[in-house]
Amino acid sequence: MPPVQPSHRLFVSLALPEPCRDALAALMDPIDGVRWTRPEQLHLTLRFLGDTLEQDAQLMIERLSAIRVEPFILPLEATGVFPPKSPPRILWAGLGTAHTRLFQLRQKVDDALLAAGWRGDVRSFEPHITVGRVVNASSKATAAWQQRHRAFAGPPFRVTSFQLMESELHSNGPAHRVYADFKLGD
């Protein structure tokens, strides 16, 4: 029997600077039935990959390292819930109208992953930062949260890199670590 290949639960993301994480942490009101994202775990997911074999991850790193997009600035503004017309499962903070380079980066990430052989679910991209997950909170409580924070605006941030992250699931929530880091620009 061949040896079992190690796999990693991976995603591609943008890290958030500390002032942004602090502003997002201020959104985390005490609400029964909401599990808040730990501030050090806050990020913007560009693409979730799931369980990935080590050899496939190395090919992805090779392809992702070839991406060239100029650095850009993103706003941190607005809040909302997913799904919007059903009982909420996710409380999020938004990026306003974002920046065209964010969408360019996301497309190049997808192209690189597909070229590396990834065949995951290619969904539309709705940029957001998950600040909380609704476990069993009432719709009234989540609607009140959204109303309280409807005018949310945090500090804008400069994007100069993106990361391939590994996520390990634990009983107290996931723990993320940088698997590979990629600088933007030439």
CA distances, 125 to each of 67, 112, 134 (Å): 18, 16, 21
CB distance 59 to 116 below 8 Å: yes
Domains of the chain as residue ranges with CATH: 7-75+95-129+156-183 (3.90.1140.10)
Q: Which amino acid is at 94?
A: G
List per-block mean pLDDT (blocks of 10 residues) for the chain, which spans 186 residues: 70 97 96 94 95 93 97 96 89 93 96 93 88 92 94 96 91 84 91
> What is the structure's pLDDT at 17?
97
At residue 98, the pLDDT reads: 87
Question: DSSP string of 113-165?
Answer: HHHTT-----------EEEEEESS--HHHHHHHHHHTTT-EEEEEEE-EEEEE
- Note the pLDDT of residue 144: 95
Predicted confidence at residue 38, as pLDDT, reads: 93
- With a threshold of 0.85, does the pTM exceed it? yes
* Predicted local distance difference test score (pLDDT) of residue 59: 96
